[in-house]
Structure 1
Amino acid sequence: MSRFKKILDVTGLAAQRFVAHDGWAIASHIALSMLTSLFPFLILLAALAGLIGSKPLADEAGTLIFDAVPREVAKPIVGEVHRLLTEQRGGVLTLGALLALYFSSSGVESLRVGLNRAYGIREMRPWWLTRLESIGYVVCGAFAMLAFALLVVLGPLIWRQLVFVAPGLEPLALTVAIGRIGVTAFLIALVLVIAHKFVAAGRRPVLSVLPGIAVTLCLWFLAGLGFGFYLDRFSNAYASTYGGLATAMIFLVFLYWLAAMFLFGGEVNGTVIAARRQRLQARMRARQAEAAQVTVNPLP
């Protein structure tokens, strides 16, 4: 019962911190930044895939981005992504890729702002240094997506070859599919660890950011199920309200809720870290008081 009460206390304090740090407003900023950064990032993917001589790989990577998104949300967007990544652009693509390095980094910068507030830390580095760091994260993320897409493309080929050589492996196809989902979840968790540990100012041990990451992943999973269920039955509500903008609004609202849950995970970590710091300070004060008492009243 004591552990359950602690969880409730941490949840309540994290919710208060979320509101006090303007979490809803920052979440809308993150959602809009992510939406405006998405297509520049995809242009960068296409440019990098062209450099290594495999443009279809960019299309596969773009599709993978939406694998973790509910089908009802992703379906209208995937078609535009496919058109963007398979369109021939010539020299414009190179210019677009250079511009994408800057504009797509805005998404990382928005995450930095939200996490710094959640952890109660002020960014002391100059703006150009943090922007360069964000651009570095974007480039690394693009190469990681291409590498993951390559594994996804080669995976089924390798599996079919293994089944051909050893037919007894065929019943394990379901296990392999579940393993693929597990790898995707692991990559998402890894991105969250990088964001909490390195994107925000200061440095934190990995163990100290795991509670908020676990909360974020659980909330994202529930949000995906709930949002998909809602759109499957009440999709006309958005169409009747936003008309032709319904597709964009659905995706933006989904990003908004994901951003809010991401920030709440940061607030959970901030609450736990602050409580731990207070306990350490209380112990230090107690030890100092004991030492002062011994000095004033030395033992005979």
Structure 2
Amino acid sequence: MDAVSHYWRDNGSAFASHVALSGLLALFPFFIFGASLASFIGAFTYTPQKIKALLQLLPDVIAEPLSQDIVNVLTIQRRGVLTVSVIGAAYFASNGVEALRTALNKAYRVVDRRSLLFCRFQSLFFVILGAFGLVVISFLLILAPLIIKIMQDHSFFITEYIGVIRLWRYIIAAVVLFVSLLIVHKWLPAERRKFIDVLPGIVVTMSVWFMASLAFAQYLTMFDYISTYAGLASIMVAIIFLYILSAIFILGGEINAAIMFYRNYLHHSDE
């Protein structure tokens, strides 16, 4: 209850809106930077089919318009100013990280006294780290089906293990998400927290994210959102979905902060 009351008392919904909008604005620069990084290290080039496969974990009504817009952005030729475009994309993508930092500092009830330069470089580092994570998840979600098909064509015993292989690629993707949340909760906000301090909020965040995604997808099948938002339907659905995820993310930090507070309170009471 302390986590929920603190969330409302500190205008958590306003911070969730800030994170959602900043995340949406940072999404396309992040994909530009991630695609440039993938091409630079020789991993692969993103195609429309690969982008759609990468976003298949999202509800279809969100993944479809976003994938098309991302494809449109990535297929634009940026000759002559490629380096400037990539640097600019990394900078604007880092604004999304800064929004997460602001929200987590509020959730953990701490004041960030680190220099602005340090925070910005740390955000850029997280963008680069996230881009590498994007490449890893891309391999898992995009190349795994191709590998399965190749193995099916050349081996008869792989058929009975296809379900297990498909399950494991989602498990590994979930592990990547868990590690990402762990890094963000431990090192993005001010001060330091132990692994056990951030674990409850991360578990709650991932669990509720999954349930909220299913519920939101089901809700959209019953709600005529196109007649409400007209031409803005796709972007509004994306913003609302990101807002829900952001609110859950911030609440995860609030849960960690509440547990840490009462743990310290009990410790001092025993003394």
Where do 5+ consecutive residues of structure 2 fail to align? none
Larger radius of gyration: 1
Are the counterparts in 1 of residues 51 and 71 from structure 2 also a CA contact under 8 Å? yes
Question: Take 1:263 and 1:224, find their aligned partners in 2: how far apart are those partners?
Answer: 16
Are the counterparts in 2 of residues 30 and 256 from structure 1 also a CA contact under 8 Å? yes
Deviates further, 180-189 or 104-113 = 180-189
Identity %: 37
Superposed CA deviations along residues 151-191 of structure 1, whole A, max 9, x for unmatched, are: 54443444345445542221111111111111111111111
How do residues 93-242 of structure 1 correspond to structure 2 at under 5 angstroms?
Answer: 93-164=82-153, 166-234=155-223, 236=224, 238-242=225-229
Q: Which TM-score applies when normalising by structure 1?
A: 0.84
Q: Which structure shows the higher helix fraction? A: 1
Question: Take 1:81 and 1:22, find their aligned partners in 2: how far apart are those partners?
Answer: 32
Q: How many corresponding residue pairs? A: 271
What SS does the aligned partner of 1:167 have? coil
Partner residue in 2 for 1:248:
235
Q: What is the deviation of 1:84?
A: 1.8
What SS does the aligned partner of 1:56 have? coil
Where do 5+ consecutive residues of structure 1 fail to align? 1-11, 285-300
Partner residue in 1 for 2:35:
46
For 1:231, the aligned partner's letter is L
Kindly tell me: are residues 226 and 243 of structure 1, through their superposed partners in 2, closer, same or farther at Cα, counting changes over 3 Å? same
Are the counterparts in 2 of residues 57 and 149 from structure 1 also a CA contact under 8 Å? no
Deviates further, 22-31 or 154-163 = 154-163
Q: What is the deviation of 1:15?
A: 0.6
Deviates further, 252-261 or 173-182 = 173-182
For 2:56, the aligned partner's letter is D
Partner residue in 2 for 1:271:
258
Q: Which TM-score applies when normalising by structure 2?
A: 0.92
For 2:239, the aligned partner's letter is L
For 2:138, the aligned partner's letter is A
Superposed CA deviations along residues 186-222 of structure 1, whole A, max 9, x for unmatched, are: 1111111111111111111112111111111111111
Superposed CA deviations along residues 235-292 of structure 1, whole A, max 9, x for unmatched, are: x2x22222111110110010001000001111110100000010111122xxxxxxxx
Q: What is the deviation of 1:143?
A: 2.1
